[in-house]
Amino acid sequence: MSIQNEYLNGLMERVIQRDPGELEFHQAVREVLISLAPVANARPELIKEGVMDCLVEPERTIKFRVPWEDDKGEIHVNRGYRVQFNSAIGPYKGGLRFHPSVNESIIKFLGFEQTFKNSLTGLPIGGGKGGSDFDPHGKSDAEVMRFCQSFMNELFKYIGPDTDVPAGDIGVGAREIGYLFGQYKRLRNEFTGVLTGKGLTYGGSLARKEATGYGLCYFADNMLKAAGKSFEGATVVISGSGNVAIYACEKATQLGGKVVAMSDSNGYIYDKDGIDLDLVKQLKEVERARIKVYVDRKPGAEYHEGCVSIWNIPCDIALPCATQNELPLEGAKALIKNGCFAVAEGANMPSTPDAMDAFQEAGVLFAPAKASNAGGVAVSALEMSQNSMRFSWTFEEVDERLKTIMSDLYRNASQAAEQYGMAGNLVAGANIAGFLKVADSMLAYGLV
Ligand code: NDP
């Protein structure tokens, strides 16, 4: 698909020329500019006033070294990042990712996407993202702690409860957030809501752990119901077995679906009787084991090496919840061939552009990550509110708010798509609805 606006086409070219190696960032920007072309055509002031040019350039990129010592006394040096992308509507907000694949392109793509996603939640939060090429797999708790402390020794200078509030992402869960928050508190001598996803004993919100996966299913449920379908009796395939995947599995099951497959970066399990989620939680949340151990404890289940063929399993609903570009065109073709009628993205940018086109051409209901996985950051923003009030809501109160946010988000994205002549296209609708609030705020501030 091409960008139907000459200026935005040129802008895309400049983005590529400026940082030629940043392929993930180019992919994310292209998808958004395709969607925004009708808006730019209708509102030329957005180009004239520099909003579009500013939108694709982070306000600030912080890049730093993270030296740490392993248990044998050897020194390692990783690289840390924080991209503060856009603060037009609130403090920068977005997760930290610890994974060997992390580089500036990945953090920029995530920070760019986060700007629209956060706007879509209707809450006052800007977009940012950070992380490191550090791999927590196979490290002892003490090594992870030393790494997190060193990471925060630099990051603390740039964040704060009214400036930038990081959270978790791939490789950053409750353990890492605890070490990071502890070090921030030590360095600043203050107890503030500077990170979200905190433990419940020190300022965390109930339902934050569940929020992204639950929110994904609430969004998907809205989309399915609008098309006269539901999770009830549906066979569901979920990639990943981390935070998002586990709670997507829990909610999809509660809504009447049967989840038959999950994965990690080595391979996937298939359990025709339905995934035993307690076992997955035990393996992933407690033992930090590989997903293949599942079949040792669950007779009749199968394990297959490699991730991508998970999409060959026949299903009605697919929820990609692992990582970017994990659902390529071949996977999309297999899903379509097997009668899959809905795909809702839990991970960020999991479908490649050609896979996304294939779903839309085949009439598969498609929920894009920016909208469908916004539940995590929405509850993070609720955690910030609770921290500011020094007060906690119950699980039910937070969950109820999450449900309302995801329904509003679905409605706003579908209405925006309809208003710009692309009814049913939630990719365009989410990009447009997220963009408008940010753009109008940027216009109000003037060029700074
Ligand atoms: P976790 O680290 O908890 O889990 C990630 C899962 O994906 C693991 O099962 C991991 O397997 C698998 N995975 C990671 N990289 C790859 C890969 N290259 N190929 C196949 N599988 C892979 O992360 P989250 O569940 O928090 O995040 C998953 C996705 O959801 C990410 O895209 C993240 O950006 C997005 N997201 C997360 C939010 C949150 O609240 N946590 C909010 C919104 C989006 P292994 O253990 O083998 O590495």
pLDDT mean over 65-78: 98
What pLDDT band is residue 373 in, cutting at 50, 70 and 90? very high
Q: Pick from 216, 198, 107, 163: which is nearest to 382 by CA?
A: 198
Residue 334 confidence (pLDDT): 98
Question: Does residue 274 belong to any structural domain of this protein?
Answer: yes
Neighbours of 390 (CB within 10 A): 9
Q: Among 322, 339, 363, which residue terminates a domain?
A: 363
CA atoms of 181 and 152, how far apart (whole Å): 8
> What confidence tens digit (pLDDT) does each residue in 73-108 have?
999 999 999 999 999 999 999 999 999 999 999 999
Q: Does one domain contain both 112 and 74?
A: yes
Q: Does one domain contain both 67 and 39?
A: no
Question: Does residue 218 belong to any structural domain of this protein?
Answer: yes
At 7, the amino acid letter reads Y
Q: Does one domain contain both 238 and 343?
A: yes
* Substitution candidate for ligand 1 out of 323, 377, 405 with most atoms within 8 A of CB: 323
User: Is this model's pTM higher than 0.75 or not?
Assistant: yes
CA atoms of 37 and 32, how far apart (whole Å): 9
* Rounded distance from Cα 157 to ligand 1 centre (Å): 27
Q: Pick from 8, 82, 92, 21: which is nearest to 51 by CA?
A: 8
Q: Pick from 311, 269, 315: which is nearest to 292 by CA?
A: 269
Please, what is the end-to-end C-alpha distance for the chain in angstroms?
Answer: 33
Question: Does residue 258 belong to any structural domain of this protein?
Answer: yes
Residue 421 confidence (pLDDT): 93
pLDDT mean over 223-234: 98
pLDDT mean over 181-201: 97
Query: Can you state the angle between helices 104-120 and 426-445, rounded to 10 degrees?
Result: 90
Checking DSSP bridges between strand 258-263 and strand 267-270, what pairing results, if any?
A: antiparallel
**Mean pLDDT for all residues in the chain:** 97
Q: Does one domain contain both 95 and 165?
A: yes
Q: Among 363, 378, 406, which residue terminates a domain?
A: 363
Q: Evaluate: CB of 348 within 6 angstroms of ligand 1.
A: yes
Q: Does one domain contain both 226 and 336?
A: yes
* Substitution candidate for ligand 1 out of 109, 244, 402 with most atoms within 8 A of CB: 244
Q: Does one domain contain both 168 and 263?
A: no
Question: Does residue 390 belong to any structural domain of this protein?
Answer: no
The two tokens of residue 22 are 């940043």
Q: Does one domain contain both 178 and 270?
A: no
pLDDT mean over 133-138: 96
Residue 126 has pLDDT above 70, yes or no: yes
Residue 352 confidence (pLDDT): 97
Q: Pick from 67, 72, 84: which is nearest to 148 by CA?
A: 67
Q: Report the percent of the chain where pLDDT is more than 70.
A: 100
Beta strands in 248-396 (DSSP E): 258-263, 267-270, 302-305, 317-320, 342-344, 365-367
pLDDT mean over 282-305: 96
How many domains does the chain fold into? 3
pLDDT mean over 392-409: 98
Question: Does residue 295 belong to any structural domain of this protein?
Answer: yes
Residue 448 confidence (pLDDT): 58
pLDDT mean over 30-48: 96
| CATH number of 305's domain | 3.40.50.720
What pLDDT band is residue 278 in, cutting at 50, 70 and 90? very high
What pLDDT band is residue 35 in, cutting at 50, 70 and 90? very high
What pLDDT band is residue 1 in, cutting at 50, 70 and 90? confident
Give the active site residue among 108, 129, 209, 251.
129
Q: Evaluate: CB of 373 within 6 angstroms of ligand 1.
A: yes
Q: Does one domain contain both 121 and 11?
A: no
Q: Does one domain contain both 216 and 184?
A: no
Question: Does residue 415 belong to any structural domain of this protein?
Answer: no
Residue 164 has pLDDT above 90, yes or no: yes
Q: Does one domain contain both 226 and 276?
A: yes
- 129: annotated active-site residue: yes
What is the extent of the structural domain holding 95? Answer: 60-191
Q: Does one domain contain both 99 and 121?
A: yes
Residue 447 has pLDDT above 90, yes or no: no
- CB burial of residue 64 (10 Å; 0-12, 13-18, 19+): middle
Q: Does one domain contain both 219 and 351?
A: yes
Question: Does residue 275 belong to any structural domain of this protein?
Answer: yes
Question: Does residue 392 belong to any structural domain of this protein?
Answer: no
Helix (H, G, I), strand (E, B) or coil at 36: helix
Q: Among 38, 55, 72, which residue terminates a domain?
A: 55
